[in-house]
Amino acid sequence: MHRKAFLLSLVVVGGAVWASPAAAQPRAVTSSVVKLQVVSDPPNLMAPWQTEGVSLFGGSGVIIEGKRILTNAHVVESAVSIEVKRADGRASFPAKVVFISHDADLALVEVDDEEFFEAVHPIPLGKMPKLQQGVVVYGFPVGGNTLSITSGIVSRVEVDTYAQSYRDLLSVQIDAAINEGNSGGPVMTNGALVGIAMQGLKNADNVGYMIPPPVIQHFLEDVKDGRYDGFPHLGVALQNMESEAQRRGARMKPEETGALVLRVDYGGPSYGVLRPRDVILAIDGHEVANDLSVGWEGIGRVDLAVAYQSKQIGDEVDLTILRSGNRVQKRITLKAHTPLVPGRRRTEWPRYVQFGGLVFQPLSEQLIDDADAGYSDAVSFAEVNNLVTRARREIILLGQVLPHPVNRGYQEWGGEVIRLVNGIVPRDLDHLAAILDAAKGPWVRFVSGDGYVITLDLEAARRANREILLDYGIVEDRYLGPGTSDGRRDRSRRSER
């Protein structure tokens, strides 16, 4: 589904030595480089009613305008305690997360104590770096308490997969080694912030990635209203038009280029505006090439996603499309939209429903990764059916079966897609819970994606629920997300703002 990149609990960048801007500003910069000490207690996706246990690790950040610390989301997610210390300071201060973007692997952290900001020089956000431009990376190597300052160059700019969210966003590759060091460390040029160190690529030498200024700026603009909305999707699947026969079949003129619309998500931004077989010729005046790229100022040719990801949720985007050989202008209002199989859970706590020992969860790429590729059938199903429709807004997975006499015969199951519950397609996890709550008759039947059937005695399963919860130390039989009104335990301390 995506290239395998690894997140960095710590970041250190080493590269060629050159006449770099490193000598220009270490004293001013170091007052704003921050070391984070984080205690986290993340939820356990494979047992979503409990956590994985407390762990301690370090990260880096940078002080920007507004007395805020910018760092990686993966540094501070699931944090129960954060202590921060300036690179030029002697004391640590308690801090808290105020905004987090798993999409962009960014977070804003605040410190209430004004003493922390004395004689600080906030780092301004710079422009998009160019290819072969020299950069300086600040961070704390493994086992070190003193600041490390290293150099590298920009080797590639493209839309690439962020390991934290599995979202494809604008990314900058640094032609230097990024090993375990301080995640969230600032990448600088001439005293300005041009990136946040993010991740490395597995089985590759001297390949590291940083989050570039356009993505950082999008995040900062997004949260100005006190709420994080995220990066927009178009809600379509696209195919390149590099085949001459494909272009002629779409009645394109020889000089026209574009992207073929294969499908449109139900309820997404493009629903009711675009249709399958439309060809997107331009986005906000940027001509779409047959290889699904656009020309972008300061970058060059890059994936067309940049043309709409540069917008905020609620903004409009103008499309020039070819429909049945006719040029048509369409306007789309970008709104929040989640793919059928998202890369990252929407809340800090995983949602689940437990019934008769059967544990149901919405499928995500993160869950697939955590299951160590044990969900091959679900992955295949998702690849073919990753489309939001009126009938299906999530793929529901039977994650595991908690053994109990009521579910005898199915205790080795796990990883199956649930296609039907009592003959009804569960459109999402909330709907599955409602189907079970309203079920009548002697049986409840679950049909998997490949047609296998689980039949339970309905009333016996309901009676067994309390015993199963006690046997496995589970407080609730379900968690459907923050703000639910089903009397479930409040988990708001971990929810995103």
Residues annotated as catalytic are 74, 105, 183
Q: Which among 191, 201, 204, 270 has a CA at the least distance from the CA of 236?
A: 270
What gap in Å lies between CA 210 and CA 384, rounded to an integer? Answer: 32
> HSE (CB half, 13 Å, CA atoms) of 124?
7
- The amino acid at residue 2 is H
- The CA distance from 192 to 184, in Å, is 15
Q: What is the DSSP track for 97-136?
A: EEEEETTTTEEEEE---GGGGTT--PPPB-PPPPTT-EEE
Cα–Cα distances (Å) from 328 to 106, 236, 237, 397, 487, in that order, read 38, 18, 19, 41, 50
In DSSP terms, 367 is beta-bridged to none
Q: At residue 113, what are phi and psi to the nearest 5 degrees?
A: -75, 115
Q: DSSP letters along 80-98, please?
A: EEEEEEETT-S--EEEEEE
Please, are residues 348 and 97 in contact by the beta-carbon 8 Å criterion?
no
Q: CA-to-CA distance for 83 and 208, rounded, in angstroms?
A: 27
Maximum Cα–Cα distance across the chain = 78
